[in-house]
Amino acid sequence: MTAATPTARSAPRGPTLRARFGRAVPYLLLAPGLIWLVLFYVIPAVQMFTYSISTGTLETGFTMTFGLDAYATAIDRFGKQFLNSILYGGLATFFTLAIGFPVAYTIAFRGGRYKNLILFLVIAPFFTSFLIRTISWKILLGDEGPLLAPLKHVLHVLPGNFSILNTAVAQVAGLTYNFLPFMILPLYVALEKIDVRLIEAAEDLYADRRAAFRRVTLPLALPGVFAGSLLTFIPAMGDYINADLLGNPSTRMIGNVIQNRLLLQNDYPVGSALSFILMAGILVAVAVYARALGTEQLTG
Amino acid sequence: MIDRDERETPGLSRRRFLQGSAMAGFAAFLAACTGTKTGASTPPSTAASASAPAAASASVEPTASVAATPKVVTGPLKFANWPAYIDLAGKAGDEGVYAPGSSPSLEEFKKQFKVDVDYEEKIGDNSAFVETIKPALVGKLPTGWDLVVLTDWMASKIVANGWAEKIDQANVPNCVANIRDALKGSSWDATNDYHYPWQSGMTGIGFNAKTLKANNIKEPTKIADLWNIPSDKVTFLSEARDTFGLVLLKLGVNADGATTTPEQLQQAAADIQPLVDGGLRFTGNEYLQDFGQKKVWAAFVWSGDLASSGGPDDKFVFPEEGTLIWTDNMLIPKGAANKYTAELMMNYVYDPKVAALLEAYIYYVSPVKGADAELKKLDASTEGNPLLFPTPDVIAKQHNFQALSDDNEKVLNDLYAKLAGN
């Protein structure tokens, strides 16, 4: 559209754009993203906030009362589920990091020509639906499933009533499994970028392999750790499928409560308040985390 | 207690028998359930159709206020029902899960009316299902379903909110003629303007005899016995009425929706809480999968499910303290695209022969007069089965915990949500 005249065509594109639209150019370029954000984030968030300070139901309609009752209920009654979310989300993040780092490290430094194949294998489970994968764990971890049945009836190392399914262990395992690729991929990208000559230089300067790892590889991998833990922790914290399928009523997370309030109890005010608290909590947590690790260094 | 073996003739299983009889003798009587008022759009049926429904249709007075539904069969009929609630044959019958083409009665309906039926086992819990269609109902939009099956308490709300289409009684002569007297005159839709019962059933205890034996636990005979089984091997129902009703019976409280007090509900919740702490879960119809995977040893279940879709060691028992009785009802959600076809389906399943075919598989209590006699003809082993024909002893201890005051319902929902961690 900028190349409307023959003279314009010969000129470089940038200045022409600027000449025609002036200072609006950056905003125009940002427009698609901004419109998307406004439509699908800002407006729903505002709407959710108005629900949270209203009373009423879907049938009777909502009246804005500007009361904070919903927030009081949310914090008062569902503290346990918030704590569960933080605990299980945190544990899942820790385990994905513990499992994912060696994997990413191996792919980046030892993968050789199999790099792409291994990366593909990491993502391959995603070709199956999230739900199916989680439901499959119900079968795998079942009381008489392929894991426990041999331990119970062949090796006799477990008592007959032992179970993993519908405990916190199964739930954290499910979260860890489901979010593992979200940890491995950013870690891989960060590790892959590391210039091997830096590690060689460290060794030349009398660092043993451990020190080289600690002083060179690890700090350079931190952006990956940061991105990976955010990508894991945030969705894991809000997840409700794993708790629903693999947990029990005592291990419910905040996502379960939100789902239940909005979809089953038709309690939009409390459901919205809970969502808002969760969102605010995550924002604060991310801010603290970024500050602690130093954003400049991480994103730069 | 119902033993699976009691009702199956050795060598000729019930399902095998059904498949045979369904295919062979079926065509003759099915014509009867067409009804005579289906008009020109109904495919020409055999001569048998002329005689059978004549008596039924004679008594029908079309209600003046109903806008006449165009009598054109349209489809596909979108039919949402509960799992283990339709007759199945073949592989689907053995697995207990509906697959398209696996239900002889639905196949015959399709053939007879030349219309497709999209039957889905979508409802495992009244609230969970209704919440999926509520936004559409509130917004006066079609829900996407033409026929849904909901329990009394939920069905009454749907009707009270004006979310059900009024049934054109002229299109359902079988229903008018054959509904059992005991089911007539419900408090919420006395003249069946909006609903016809699908099945009645009872809530009691299900257990896996083999697993209990392996762990040296006595088979439960009363509700209280479930407190002696490891709680993480027990499930209660996410239908709060069922769970709380049975626990009230356990506590010696008369589980009657009209007389229950919030304090009694509190007591019941307090009685359940220790089990939740020990790992008790609440499920809808998914308990069938839990039984299949030996995940659960004993549970609150609905009467027919384990007989139709459970394993050979899965048994149902009427608890000594009593059972809860309820009825699930067919409703046409407001704005249904294929209302006339839905009415045809209602009429179809109220033919005693079709009703018997359903009963012989699903083991619930039929709302259809004359289904009993047909059932005995179809499968003699069903005679005396208390799931299908509750004995006077069982009936004496049936409680109806469906109708609760708004306040009680609020208390109940809240107590249940707390127990379930929501």
What CATH number is associated with residue B350?
3.40.190.10
pLDDT band per the 50, 70, 90 thresholds, residue B51: very low
List pLDDT tens digits, range B105-157.
Answer: 999 999 999 999 999 999 999 988 998 999 899 999 999 999 999 999 999 99
Q: Which residues of B touch A141 (CB under 8 A)?
A: none
The answer to whether the Cβ–Cβ distance between A167 and B279 falls below 8 Å is yes
Question: Are B297 and B234 contacting, i.e. CB atoms less than 8 angstroms apart?
Answer: yes
**Partner B contacted by A73 (CB < 8 A):** no
List pLDDT tens digits, range A96-155.
Answer: 999 999 999 999 999 889 999 999 999 998 899 999 999 999 889 988 889 888 998 888
Instruction: Give which of A57, A85, A161 to mutate to test B binding, by max B Cβ within 10 Å.
Output: A161
Q: Which residues contact A207 (CB under 8 A, 6 or more apart)?
A: A215, A216
pLDDT of B3 strictly over 90: no
List pLDDT tens digits, range B250-306.
Answer: 999 999 888 999 999 999 999 999 999 999 999 999 999 999 888 899 999 999 999
Structural domain count of chain B? 2
Q: Which residues of B touch A58 (CB under 8 A)?
A: 134-135, 138
Check residue A257 and give its pLDDT: 94
Write the residue in B233, B295, B422 that is nearest to A252 by C-beta: B422
Check residue B200 and give its pLDDT: 95
- How many angstroms away from the CA of B299 is the closest CA of chain A? 15
Please state which of the ranges A151-165, A269-283, B129-143 shows the lowest mean pLDDT: A151-165
Please state which CATH class domain A70-299 belongs to.
mainly alpha
pLDDT exceeding 90 applies to what percent of chain B?
70
The answer to whether the Cβ–Cβ distance between B281 and A144 falls below 8 Å is no
Does B217 lie in the same domain as B181? no
List pLDDT tens digits, range A31-61.
Answer: 999 999 999 999 999 999 999 999 888 778 8
Provide the domain limits for residue B356: 4-199+329-390
- How many angstroms away from the CA of A155 is the closest CA of chain B? 17
Does B222 lie in the same domain as B116? no
- How many angstroms away from the CA of A20 is the closest CA of chain B? 47
Residue B282: its H or E element: strand B281-283
Backbone CA torsion sign across B167, B173, B174, B175? positive
Average pLDDT over residues A7-20: 59
Does B405 lie in the same domain as B268? yes
**Partner B contacted by A296 (CB < 8 A):** no
- How many angstroms away from the CA of B397 is the closest CA of chain A? 31
Check residue B374 and give its pLDDT: 93
**Partner B contacted by A260 (CB < 8 A):** yes
Q: Which of A70-79, B195-204, B302-311 has the highest mean pLDDT?
A: B195-204
Does B94 lie in the same domain as B243? no
Strand partners, B325: B202
Higher pLDDT, A274 or A12: A274
Check residue B6 and give its pLDDT: 42
Does B342 lie in the same domain as B193? yes
pLDDT band per the 50, 70, 90 thresholds, residue B179: very high
Q: Which residues of A touch B417 (CB under 8 A)?
A: 260, 265
Q: Residue B219 has which token pair? A: 């088979």
pLDDT of B44 strictly over 60: no
Does B147 lie in the same domain as B229? no
Does B103 lie in the same domain as B22? yes
Q: Which residues of A touch B128 (CB under 8 A)?
A: 263-264
List pLDDT tens digits, range B225-244.
Answer: 999 999 999 999 999 999 99
- How many angstroms away from the CA of B102 is the closest CA of chain A? 24
Q: Which residues of A touch B276 (CB under 8 A)?
A: 249-250
Backbone angles phi, psi at B204, to 5 degrees: -150, -145
Does B342 lie in the same domain as B276? no
Does B227 lie in the same domain as B126? no
Write the residue in A59, A143, A163 that is nearest to B161 by C-beta: A59
Taking the whole predicted model, whether its pTM rises above 0.95 is answered as no
CA distances from A1 to A6, A10, A35, A88, B288 (A): 12, 14, 21, 53, 63
pLDDT of A26 strictly over 90: no
Check residue B75 and give its pLDDT: 85
The answer to whether the Cβ–Cβ distance between A252 and B295 falls below 8 Å is no
Check residue B355 and give its pLDDT: 96
List pLDDT tens digits, range B164-177.
Answer: 999 999 999 999 99
Q: Which A-chain residues 126-145 have CB contacts (< 8 A) with chain B?
A: 138-139, 142-145
Question: Are A88 and A253 contacting, i.e. CB atoms less than 8 angstroms apart?
Answer: yes
Among the listed residues B338, B384, B402, B366, the one whose alpha carbon sits nearest the alpha carbon of residue B165:
B338
Average pLDDT over residues B332-350: 96
The answer to whether the Cβ–Cβ distance between A143 and B134 falls below 8 Å is no
CA A252 to CA A88: how far, in whole Å? 10
pLDDT of B22 strictly over 50: no
The answer to whether the Cβ–Cβ distance between A249 and B419 falls below 8 Å is yes
Write the residue in A163, A165, A260 that is nearest to B417 by C-beta: A260
| DSSP secondary structure code for residue B81 in this structure | E
Interface of B with A (CB under 8 A): 127-128, 131-132, 134-135, 138, 161, 214-215, 230, 232-233, 276-277, 279-282, 293-295, 413, 417, 419-422
Higher pLDDT, B27 or A243: A243
pLDDT of B77 strictly over 60: yes
Write the residue in B277, B295, B417 that is nearest to A265 by C-beta: B417
Does B402 lie in the same domain as B365? no
CA distances from A38 to A240, A283, B82 (A): 26, 18, 41
Torsion on CA atoms B267, B272, B276, B277, rounded to nearest 10: 60
**Partner B contacted by A60 (CB < 8 A):** no
How many inter-chain contacts (A to B, CB under 8 Å) are there?
75
Locate the chain B residue with the closest alpha carbon to A257. Answer: B422
The answer to whether the Cβ–Cβ distance between B294 and A264 falls below 8 Å is no
Does B347 lie in the same domain as B240? no
E strand spans, B173-275: 195-208, 234-237
pLDDT band per the 50, 70, 90 thresholds, residue A12: low
Write the residue in B138, B419, B422 that is nearest to A257 by C-beta: B422
The answer to whether the Cβ–Cβ distance between B279 and A250 falls below 8 Å is yes
Higher pLDDT, A56 or B365: B365
Q: Residue B189 has which token pair? A: 């839709």
- How many angstroms away from the CA of A67 is the closest CA of chain B? 21
The answer to whether the Cβ–Cβ distance between B420 and A249 falls below 8 Å is yes
- How many angstroms away from the CA of B128 is the closest CA of chain A? 6
Does B179 lie in the same domain as B235? no
**Partner B contacted by A250 (CB < 8 A):** yes
Backbone CA torsion sign across A213, A217, A222, A224? negative
Q: Which residues of B touch A261 (CB under 8 A)?
A: 422
Please state which of the ranges B214-218, B273-277, B292-296, B328-332 shows the lowest mean pLDDT: B292-296
pLDDT band per the 50, 70, 90 thresholds, residue A224: very high
Write the residue in B132, B295, B421 that is nearest to A143 by C-beta: B295
> What is the average pLDDT score of chain B?
85
CA distances from B176 to B112, B286, B311, B343 (A): 21, 34, 37, 12
CB < 8 Å & 24+ apart, contacts of A52-57: A52/A269, A52/A270, A52/A272, A52/A273, A52/A275, A52/A276, A53/A269, A54/A268, A54/A269, A55/A269, A56/A268, A56/A269, A57/A266, A57/A267, A57/A268
Average pLDDT over residues B311-321: 94
The full set of domain ranges for chain A reads 1-32, 70-299
The answer to whether the Cβ–Cβ distance between A261 and B422 falls below 8 Å is yes
Check residue B46 and give its pLDDT: 38
Three-class DSSP category at B117: strand
CA B271 to CA B223: how far, in whole Å? 12
List pLDDT tens digits, range B181-198.
Answer: 999 988 999 999 999 999
Q: Which residues of A touch B161 (CB under 8 A)?
A: 59
